[in-house]
Amino acid sequence: MADDLLTPGNIAKQLSVSEGKVKKAIAELKLEPAAKKGVCSYYDAAAIAKIQAALKS
């Protein structure tokens, strides 16, 4: 798996917001994970940028 893929929990830590806010933004943006491993979804840098922009608005 690529090193630049992050779970919603790790995205939340990186952006200093709650995991709930990240998951809500993912749902609102209808983002698909770049990869899945079991029940974990992993998002790429482009998705992280969209999440960050959504959280700022």
Does 1 map to a domain?
A: no
2 located within any domain:
no
> Which structural domain range is residue 17 located in?
8-56
The answer to whether 31 and 48 are in contact (CB under 8 A) is no
Residue 16, domain member (yes or no): yes
What letter represents residue 30's amino acid?
Answer: K
- The answer as to whether 21 is a domain residue is yes
Domain count, the chain: 1
What are the tokens at 13? 């830590």
The pTM of this model reads 0.90
CA–CA gap between residue 13 and residue 31 (Å, rounded): 19
pLDDT tens per residue, range 26-56: 999 999 999 999 999 999 999 999 999 999 9
In a domain, 34, yes or no: yes
Separation of alpha carbons 1 and 23, rounded Å: 21
3 in a structural domain: no
